[in-house]
Amino acid sequence: MGDTTDDSTTMVESKPALGPPGIPILHESSSSVPGLGGNTDEDGIIPMGEIDPVYEAKARVLNHAIQEIGMGRYQWKLFVVVGFGWATDNLWPIVMSLIFTPITNEFHPAQPPLLALCQNIGLLVGALVWGFSCDVFGRKNAFNFTLGITAVFGMTAASSPNFAAIGCFAALWSFGVGGNLPVDSAIFLEFLPPSRQWMLTVLSVDWAFAQVLANLVAWPLLGNFTCQLEVTTTTTTTTCTKADNMGWRWFLLAMGGLTMLFFLVRFCCFKIHESPKYLMGKGRDQDAVGVVHQVARINGTTSTLALADLQACEPAGYVHEANNVTSTAKRTLQRKLAEVSTDKIAALFATPRLALSTGLITAIWALVGLGYPLYNSFLPYILATRGTSFGDGSTYLTYRNALIVSSLGVPGAAIGAALVQIPGFGRKGTLAVATVLTGVFLYGSTTAVNSDSLMGWNCAFNFTSNIMYAVLYSFTPELFPTPQRGTGNALTASANRIFGIMAPIVAMYGDLESDVPVYVSGGLFLVAGILVLGLPFESRGKAAM
């Protein structure tokens, strides 16, 4: 099951290091690693001299060891179960957008956007709590339980008797959702051979499939079991009872049940090992070596990594700060709680280039976090002025056509995974072009004169935005060193969620009968695409540190 300590404490025989202290001698030249150079500045995404030199040297040794055992059974199983988290991250915001109108029709709240606000608050708190804690307490527990929390509260929400209840449950299930990508991206990246890091982008196909799946299930349930609007020449009213509006409740049960299945497979059928780089960053070199050898055995191969290889990276008299603390349960907990401080954030701004990288990627996430939901918040106005809906006004056709639009995300994510490997284009080029095109297509949607042309613009928007998200979700964790990767992911996700909270607030108090917010949204994507070009690090062909 998701447990623990024993797997990372396998004793591996040490052997003498070759070479002077602080200079590890690898068992095989890293120049043989496809896409990577030798033990030089070019090996790492973060160049030499930007992070702690002892940690950096050990990270290079572990990168070589993971490359040596290759992409095997353990990583492929991890690819599948991490994909559950990727899918869930997109599934539940899509669920919220699909059930928003039926819930509004049934409960008639004074401020319907408050429901989206509850969701975004939950996503924000989840990103902060799970992101920061996975750098302190490890990746394993967060990896196992985020899906369980989402499933339980998602299914419970189907019983909501009023608008306040569904808002609370939305915040609670979003707390679980908010931790998926900060944790999952970190642990998958830290087990990938450096030459296979592009597979982090491939995971976004799961993200896109979740969007299709949600719309596919919503089509019959919400399309047939949702209250219809009653439109007269002067007013639009609804007479909507629970019995006539059960679709959204069944939909929540279906999506919650699917997420619970994801959780059970992940927890019961896959034994997750703690990240070797995380263990090494905590001063647990022996445990890190043990995990590498266990993964090698699962893959049916062997590793030449020895404890002496990591110890050779340490100068004479070096003692990791974590080993200076008496290992009692109380003091260990006190030490871990003390680690929840601004020090981890400060480490991401330790040098000018690290500060520029962290600042820009956080700003990009913030701009996208406002731009995407801002457009969705004002989409009802666009629909009303361009033909009532994506169909002929029927709920059934609306959900059917939403399925068509969402299907364009799957090839978008797959193409993004291919583009990031193009020499001279890589992550930065793909992300910049896709983000700018997303803004351009948003502008284009304001020119739609009917529902068909609007659907065409939205198909294009969904295609490029899925390329953008595929690269953004994979590129971001690559830019952070392992000891602060969860913190960096939490920082960027929090910026995204904070700005996302602004969108429903704007919707509550802004002019809903205007194209201006859509122009603003498109402009935010254009600015984000330009900022991408200023990022100082490119990760194509280089190893995450």
Mean pLDDT of 328-342: 55
- Is the confidence at residue 212, as pLDDT, over 50? yes
pLDDT tens digits, residue range 154-182? Answer: 999 999 999 999 999 999 999 999 988 88
User: Helix %, strand %, coil % for the chain, to 5?
Assistant: 70, 0, 30
pLDDT tens digits, residue range 473-511? Answer: 889 999 998 888 888 888 998 899 888 888 777 766 766
Q: Tell me how many domains the chain contains.
A: 1
Question: Residue 476 corresponds to which tokens in the numbers above?
Answer: 């971001």
Distance CA 122, CA 128 (A): 10
pLDDT at 383: 55
- Is the confidence at residue 394, as pLDDT, over 50? yes
Q: Specify whether the CB–CB gap between 128 and 490 falls below 8 A.
A: yes
- Is the confidence at residue 39, as pLDDT, over 60? no
pLDDT at 504: 73
The CA-atom distances, in angstroms, between 144 and each of 177, 332, 349, 438 are 12, 22, 30, 34
Q: Considering the domain boundaries, does residue 312 fall inside one?
A: no
pLDDT at 248: 92
Q: Considering the domain boundaries, does residue 307 fall inside one?
A: no
E strand spans, 227-355: 230-231, 236-237
Report pTM.
Answer: 0.79
Helix, strand or coil, per DSSP, at residue 44 = strand
User: Domain containing 260 — which CATH number?
Assistant: 1.20.1250.20
Q: Considering the domain boundaries, does residue 290 fall inside one?
A: no
- Phi, psi (5° rounding) for residue 231? -105, 125
Q: Considering the domain boundaries, does residue 36 fall inside one?
A: no
Distance CA 13, CA 365 (A): 45
Q: Specify whether the CB–CB gap between 13 and 33 falls below 8 A.
A: no
pLDDT at 139: 85
Q: Considering the domain boundaries, does residue 6 fall inside one?
A: no
Angle, vertex CA 283, rays to CA 279 and CA 286, nearest 5: 70
Distance CA 436, CA 371 (A): 12
Q: Considering the domain boundaries, does residue 377 fall inside one?
A: yes
Distance CA 455, CA 326 (A): 63
Q: Considering the domain boundaries, does residue 455 fall inside one?
A: yes
The sign of the dihedral angle between the CA atoms of 152, 155, 159, 160 is: positive
Q: Considering the domain boundaries, does residue 223 fall inside one?
A: yes
Angle, vertex CA 368, rays to CA 178 and CA 526, nearest 5: 165
Distance CA 519, CA 447 (A): 11
Question: Residue 160 belongs to what domain range?
Answer: 73-272+347-532
